[in-house]
Structure 1
């Protein structure tokens, strides 16, 4: 059997964005409340009964959250343009650096209905 565990998190951040539509409002500094969800998958360890200790995932996500929360996303060099797509890649890479192989990262802005999901093999 294969399991998928997930953990949600959120952060508030500001950014600008160079776009071809809604250019004036996107170019001004503005902020959002972002929600995220990370999933890890695999077989259950027979000894522990877990795919992964969720405490380890929460600790790694807390580190990522601290790097993003109440920040100006334009100033995070590893992020690139502060798009939902780049935020997904940023979170996936940050977890990989913490030796956590996420199979799915979703970032969304509930207030305006936008969502992006990055999927990798589990």
Structure 2
């Protein structure tokens, strides 16, 4: 029987304020769809990294390094009109999760989940990727 190694999941959140519009073709009549007008939200993005602590540091990831990577993505979203953010698409919670994942995955080994929520509205969406 093999040796059991502890695996940890570390999470870190960042908050960003952003505006957007959202054209929804499923609303009838379109004039009743408030999401078509420019409006904003306070978003909270939580990123989870799963892995085994390294021998010397005893950490899954150095939090200062993680903060640096997260600030790069936060700066692309904070106080922006999300409609203008290249590569995002319609500013749904799902698309924000994918956008953040794609921005972070090349830099964060062990990225296991991205959650984006709007605390004031009580909604959130999580994305986790698993190898097939």
What's the TM-score, normalizing by structure 2? 0.86
What is the match of residue 103 of structure 1? 112
Q: Which runs of 5+ in 2 are unaligned?
A: 1-5
What is the match of residue 88 of structure 2? 79
Equivalences, count: 121
Secondary structure in 1 matching 2:105: helix
What is the match of residue 60 of structure 1? 69
1:120, distance to aligned residue in structure 2 (A): 2.2
Secondary structure in 2 matching 1:59: helix
1:54, distance to aligned residue in structure 2 (A): 1.1
Choose which of 56, 59, 63 in structure 2 pairs with 1:50.
59
What is the match of residue 22 of structure 2? 17
Kindly report the root-mean-square deviation, in angstroms, between the aligned alpha carbons of the 2 structures: 1.6
1:28-81 deviations in Å (ceiling 9; x for gaps):
000000011000011111111011111111111111111100000000121011
Instruction: Give the distance between the partners of 1:77 and 1:7, measured in 2 at CA.
Output: 24
Instruction: Give the distance between the partners of 2:92 and 2:37, measured in 1 at CA.
Output: 15
1:96, distance to aligned residue in structure 2 (A): 1.9
Secondary structure in 2 matching 1:88: helix
